[in-house]
Amino acid sequence: MPKTTQPQAHTVTTLHSRCIEEGDCWIWQGACDGHGKPQVRHLGKVTYVSRLIRELTDGRRIPTGMVVACKCGTPLCVAPGHTVVTNHQGRADLAKARGAYQGVARQMKMANTKRAQSHISEQVVQAIRNACSSRVAAREFGVSVSHCKAIRRGTARVGTNVFAGLML
């Protein structure tokens, strides 16, 4: 006689009991897939925890083609308040926005260090940017042509214009 067992059905409570809370985050303590995404067996099928919690919380299935993205960026966080149902593009945008902000913080730090070492004032930097050519600016302000070119390209003194990239 084959043994029949009822497949385990999870609820938000049973899933939450497998997490530890860190701030508002629910940090999953159970199994993960090969990419470190929390997984659990639910009704005999292996499914993603953040997706399952979202469905249990919302009381409806997530439509095909939609994905659950994490807003807080904490690995292993499955808190329903930290996930959002979106499409692949939306998830990519979220990840990109997080990356961009981290990038800005890094750039600001570097720019501030460079600015402290620089002898050129902020007004001169603006004037060099507004000059009709690097050669003209170099002669007028007594800086090297290559440095003027770097400022005008934005590779030097990016701190003054660091948010421009985010406006795209």
Decide if residue 82 touches Zn ion (CB under 5 A). Answer: yes
Q: Would you count residue 84 as binding Zn ion (CB under 5 A)?
A: no
Residues 6+ away with beta carbon under 8 Å from 28 = 18, 19, 38, 49, 76, 77, 78
Instruction: Return the structure tokens found at 88.
Output: 């692949």
Query: Residue 138, interface with Zn ion (CB under 5 A)?
Result: no
Q: Does 53 bind Zn ion (CB under 5 A)?
A: no
Alpha-carbon gap, residue 131 to 6, rounded angstroms = 76
74 makes contact with Zn ion (CB under 5 A): yes
Question: Does residue 72 belong to the site contacting Zn ion (CB under 5 A)?
Answer: yes
Nearer to Zn ion, 19 or 148 (CB): 19
54 binds Zn ion (CB under 5 A): no
Instruction: From 4-12, 18-26, 91-99, 112-120, give the range in contact with Zn ion by CB under 5 A.
Output: 18-26
| Burial of 42: CB neighbours in 10 Å, binned 0-12, 13-18, 19+ | buried
